[in-house]
Amino acid sequence: MMRTLRALLCGALVASGFLSMAQSPVGFKYQAVLRDAFGNPMPSQSVDVQIAVLGTAPGNPAIYTETHSVTTNEHGLFTLEMGRGVSSDDSDTLLCPICFSSFEVSLDIGNTGVFTSMGTEEFLSVPFALHAGSSGDVPEGTEVGQVMHWDGEAWVSDTGLYVLDRRLGIGTTEPGAPLGVVVDSFGTALRLLLSDQPGNDQGWEFGRVHEPGDAHFGAITFSESASGVSIPRLTIADSTGYVGIGTIVPEAPLEIAADSSNGSAIILRRGITASKSFTNWVVLSHRGTTPDGLLITDSLSEPGRIFFIADSTGRVGIGTEDPPAALSITSRDRLKTYFETGDIPTESNFGITTDSTGFGIGQGAPDALVSRLFIADSTGNVGIGTDAPTRKLEVADLNHDGRLDLALRNTASVGNQGWAMGHIHDQSVSERDGTFSLLEHTDLGPEERLHVLPVTGNVGIGPPVASAKLHVSRPASDPDAVVSLAEGTGIAVFGPITDNVAFDHQGIQARHGEYIGPTLDLQTATLNVQRLGGDVLIHGGSPDPLEQVAITSDGRLGIGTTTPTAPVTVASRELQYASYKHPTGAGGDMYMEALPTGGLSFGEDTVGGVARSLVIGPGLGYVGIGTATPAERLHVHGALVVGGSTSFSPPDGTFRYRSGQFEGKAEGHWVQLSGPFKRTSTNVAYFDTLSGPRVGIGDSAPQAALHVKAKSLNASVPFEAEAVRIENTASSAGPG
């Protein structure tokens, strides 16, 4: 079982001091004891040791790394020589003692390929000291920290190179940084020549504008030099820190002057590949084309991927150098723009697409966008939720057992929460599946105001399912459901508010109204049917005309017929044509009916049946009064009253036939009109036509042509005993 291991470094830097390359190898020796986690030495243990020399730059990066495979002795000790191990770095790095200050040791026990750091240690003395024992040969006048060099015969000092506290000064004895450089009289601090040939000055210079009074005094420059001419390529302004590339007067934190030959300002290379042998990315200020602007492309000769900002307009082009709008994108890819939220799933990301089919906005992953808005290229049709709209505006979505709504809301209104048009999916009520619905959003929720059913096209206002082409309803419990002479009543109203026709479930009412102040006063009005003409047909759908009623445009009424030939024409399979109900119910009902044998009768409904009061017989048209079988033009069964009275005590002027005699009533007495005529049973006046023309006055059996019998022999009554008096009323002489 493996235990945790650690190494206790116990002796380092066995060889100390400077060694010259001619006399000593580039390296130093290192020893350590390998111990386990409990501090016990680990004898005869194979181990891979990695030593990394750390530089003096910030963060102390490794500047040289070397690996050794060693085996400890019986005391756990191992020894190695730095500079003779396996490394891909240049061992000459170890000849620059001012370039490193410490080293890191890492171990791999068991050949796992993974090294574990054992810690970092500082160098206790400079390795390979160059003839430290020859310090007596230092020339006189050598300054502290001054670096000497061997000229082949002796050590000589250079007044311009100093080392102080592991800092290198060039031209200064007090470098304020790991490297301090004092510029020459031309302001040059560093010159890199392209060739070591005598007289060659082509290369690069790093310096500072040093002449007081110069407008660019203090600026750091990196210039290209040739033939004694220095051209600044990079400038850092002294007062602002602005960086200029191609200009010594940067007016922004970074200003780049493009190449005058091809317009390139920034070139980013990924190297030359088999598929592309041109520059990968180029930033251009212009290409000599119109319009000029800032161009980012992947090729100078044939721009492919392009980002362009036009100079004069500020328009941005992606994939095009001539944007016609503020932002123009040209690409063969359907997905032109993709917006990622970054903190939520890709289903909430949005993309803009364009191709030959149209323009769209989708949601979701780039390769699985769900269409949210689409405008078809050929038709201009707009789709919401569909990328194949067949109408100018088509909205589609999947909403089981619910509505797909298109809402409208004016936020300035406080009357409700707006309106919505919906397409309904309803599995519970099959008739409503696919219904179009118009809803009002109230404070209590959505309320349906109108719907249109699929297949039938029935329109409903009020009911949940329209049962006719137009079905308008109102709850029966609603007090305004019944038409009245009040505004807002009824189920449906047609016409202006002052002259309209109102409907309810009970009937139709024409209304006329006038405003009295703010109040509308409604009254009943005439209902005009077929105002422009034409017949009115009731029960016109019946195949039997006897079940129909017609009012023709010329004012005729047909009952049981649609072709009335008189102002009123009645046809019926029933004998009884019409009945007249007594308004108070006190008398019997009257009827008009056809007789089984033909003809027409008018009668009264009695307990025993219909008492026919008037009969018009068929054929000759005989009229019977009191008889159903008239034998003459006028056949009266019973009394005939002249004077129009229907009293049971006949008045004067009544004719009757009784006991084989015709009688007429005059002055309250019945007078026989055939046989002996007499006024009363007391024979006040009598006319006998059987025995001969005799007249009896006071005697019913006259014995002579004129037979007068006195009423009384009472002499006390004046003129009572007189039988006959003849008097001329013109005479005043006496009573005659």
Give yes or no for a contact between 287 and 308, defined as CB atoms under 8 angstroms apart.
Answer: no
Pairing of strands 5-12, 77-82: unpaired
pLDDT tens digit string along 323-346?
Answer: 889 888 888 888 888 888 877 666
Q: Which residues of 314-348 are buried (b: 16+ CB within 10 A; e: fewer)?
A: ebbbbbbbebeeeebbeeeeebbeeeeeeeeeeee
CA atoms within a 13 Å half-sphere pointing along the CA-CB vector of 573: 5
Tokens linked to 70: 């060693």
Pairing of strands 519-524, 508-516: antiparallel
CA 42 to chain centre: 78
d(C-alpha 646, C-alpha 19), whole Å: 168
d(C-alpha 620, C-alpha 434), whole Å: 71
- pLDDT the model gives residue 330: 85
d(C-alpha 154, C-alpha 131), whole Å: 13
Which domains are present in the chain?
A: 5-134 (2.60.40), 183-257 (no CATH), 258-330 (no CATH), 333-396 (no CATH), 399-473 (no CATH), 479-520 (no CATH)
d(C-alpha 593, C-alpha 588), whole Å: 16
d(C-alpha 473, C-alpha 253), whole Å: 77
DSSP helix/strand/coil, 282: strand
Q: Please report which helix (H) or strand (E) contains residue 158, including its range.
A: strand 155-164
d(C-alpha 595, C-alpha 217), whole Å: 140
d(C-alpha 382, C-alpha 404), whole Å: 17
Which whole number is the average pLDDT over 540-561? Answer: 90
Give yes or no for a contact between 206 and 190, defined as CB atoms under 8 angstroms apart.
Answer: yes
DSSP helix/strand/coil, 134: helix
pLDDT tens digit string along 176-190?
Answer: 888 888 877 677 767
Which whole number is the average pLDDT over 399-412? Answer: 82
pLDDT > 90? residue 262: no
- pLDDT the model gives residue 513: 93
DSSP bridge partners of 406: 421
Per-residue CA distances from 583 to 576, 589, 604 (Å) = 20, 9, 14
pLDDT tens digit string along 210-260?
Answer: 666 566 677 888 778 777 777 788 888 877 888 888 787 888 888 877 776
DSSP helix/strand/coil, 50: strand
Tokens linked to 104: 């890191």
- pLDDT the model gives residue 636: 83
- pLDDT the model gives residue 603: 80
Query: Listing from the earlier edge strand, what are the strands of the sheet with 264-268?
Result: 264-268, 281-284, 293-297, 307-310, 316-318, 327-329
- pLDDT the model gives residue 542: 84
Tokens linked to 383: 């789709």
Percent of the chain with pLDDT over 90: 21
pLDDT > 70? residue 134: no
Give yes or no for a contact between 473 and 462, defined as CB atoms under 8 angstroms apart.
Answer: yes
pLDDT tens digit string along 18-72?
Answer: 333 333 455 678 888 898 888 899 999 999 999 998 887 777 888 889 999 999 9
Using CB atoms within 10 Å of the CB of residue 525, give its burial: 0 to 12 exposed, 13 to 18 middle, 19+ buried.
middle
Angle at 18 between CA 91 and CA 176, to 5 degrees: 85
| Mean pLDDT lowest among 305-309, 565-569, 578-582, 710-714 | 710-714
- pLDDT the model gives residue 736: 58
DSSP helix/strand/coil, 430: helix
* DSSP secondary structure letter of residue 667: T
d(C-alpha 29, C-alpha 134), whole Å: 23
Q: Which of the pair, 120 or 596, is modelled with greater confidence?
A: 120
Angle at 561 between CA 556 and CA 562, to 5 degrees: 65
Q: What is the full DSSP assignment across 71-104?
A: E--TTSEEEEEETSSB-SS-GGGGG-GGGEEEEE
d(C-alpha 495, C-alpha 10), whole Å: 114
CA atoms within a 13 Å half-sphere pointing along the CA-CB vector of 524: 6
Q: Quick one: residue 284, left, alpha or beta (phi over 0 = left, psi -120 to 50 = alpha)? A: beta
d(C-alpha 527, C-alpha 525), whole Å: 6
**CA Rg, the chain, in Å?**
68
Tokens linked to 599: 């003809």
DSSP helix/strand/coil, 309: strand
- pLDDT the model gives residue 641: 64
Tokens linked to 302: 């044939």
DSSP bridge partners of 697: 685, 708
pTM score of the predicted model: 0.44
- pLDDT the model gives residue 654: 78
- pLDDT the model gives residue 380: 94
Tokens linked to 515: 């405003």
Return contacts of 486-492, CB within 8 angstroms, 24+ apart.
486/522, 487/513, 487/520, 487/522, 491/462
- pLDDT the model gives residue 125: 52
Tokens linked to 630: 């008239």
pLDDT > 80? residue 553: yes
Q: Which of the pair, 299 or 572, is modelled with greater confidence?
A: 572
Give yes or no for a contact between 318 and 330, defined as CB atoms under 8 angstroms apart.
Answer: yes
Which whole number is the average pLDDT over 3-32? Answer: 45
Angle at 13 between CA 9 and CA 18, to 5 degrees: 165
- pLDDT the model gives residue 485: 92
Quick count: other Cβ atoms within 10 Å of Cβ 420? 19
Pairing of strands 549-551, 557-559: antiparallel
- pLDDT the model gives residue 265: 64
pLDDT tens digit string along 146-174?
Answer: 777 777 777 777 667 888 777 888 878 88
Which whole number is the average pLDDT over 413-438? Answer: 90
pLDDT tens digit string along 458-502?
Answer: 999 989 899 999 999 988 788 888 999 999 899 999 999 999 999
Percent of the chain with pLDDT over 70: 74
- pLDDT the model gives residue 3: 33
d(C-alpha 130, C-alpha 393), whole Å: 89
Quick count: other Cβ atoms within 10 Å of Cβ 719? 8
pLDDT > 50? residue 130: no
DSSP bridge partners of 318: 307, 329
Q: Which of the pair, 658 or 409, is modelled with greater confidence?
A: 409
| Mean pLDDT lowest among 178-192, 413-427, 562-576 | 178-192
Q: Which of the pair, 88 or 493, is modelled with greater confidence?
A: 493
d(C-alpha 30, C-alpha 104), whole Å: 12
pLDDT > 50? residue 523: yes
d(C-alpha 383, C-alpha 389), whole Å: 5
Omega prior to 564 cis, within 30 of 0: no
Q: Which of the pair, 134 or 378, is modelled with greater confidence?
A: 378
- pLDDT the model gives residue 502: 94
Per-residue CA distances from 87 to 82, 114, 320, 427, 635 (Å) = 10, 16, 51, 78, 155
Q: What average pLDDT does the chain have? A: 78
Which whole number is the average pLDDT over 701-727? Answer: 66
pLDDT > 60? residue 689: no
Pairing of strands 316-318, 327-329: parallel
First to last CA, the chain: 186
Which whole number is the average pLDDT over 414-422? Answer: 89
Which whole number is the average pLDDT over 400-405? Answer: 78
